[in-house]
Amino acid sequence: MLAGIHIAAAAEAVTFGISQGIAPATVLDVISKCAGTSWMFENRVPHIVDGDYTPHSAVDIFVKDLGIVGDVAHKAKFSAPLTATALQQFVAASGAGFGREDDSAVAKIYARNAGLKLPGDKI
């Protein structure tokens, strides 16, 4: 649950920074030194900065895992809106053809929706 949410939040933060004219490496440097950091942020954002989506853990793994968490929460009548939101971002990334890429490729959905170019984008 937390890993998936943190990856989606990290992707959102870095792409938001890019949308504000901040270089991805600067976003990584600044957030890594403040209270907003997380292990997932510090581990996954370098993949985005490098434009390297070689899978260490794939988008589709989080589609599966967050789906399981969501199903269990639903059966328990437990509201898990952050999990549901993160899951939808991973589902969108998988549906866009990024399912076998590194889970940090969820950033591509944020970037695409905002009309942004990420490091390593060829288009």
Q: Tell me: pLDDT of 68 over 80.
A: yes
Residues in Cβ contact with 95 at an 8 Å cutoff, skipping those fewer than 6 apart: none
How much is the average pLDDT of 51-55? 97
Q: How confident is the model at residue 62 (pLDDT cuts 50, 70, 90)?
A: very high
Alpha-carbon distance values, 20 to 14, 15, 57 (Å): 10, 9, 29
Q: How confident is the model at residue 122 (pLDDT cuts 50, 70, 90)?
A: confident
Burial 67-84 (b: 16+ CB within 10 A, else e): eebbeebeeeeeebeebe
- Give me the CATH number covering residue 27: 1.10.1040.10
Identify whether 120 is part of a domain: no
How much is the average pLDDT of 62-84? 98
How much is the average pLDDT of 24-52? 97
106-115: long-range contacts at Cβ-Cβ below 8 A with a sequence spacing of 24 or more? Answer: 106/7, 106/8, 106/11, 106/59, 106/62, 107/11, 107/14, 107/15, 107/48, 109/11, 110/11, 110/12, 110/15, 110/16, 111/15, 111/18, 114/15, 114/19
Identify whether 123 is part of a domain: no
Identify whether 16 is part of a domain: yes
Domain count, the chain: 1
Identify whether 121 is part of a domain: no
Q: How confident is the model at residue 123 (pLDDT cuts 50, 70, 90)?
A: low
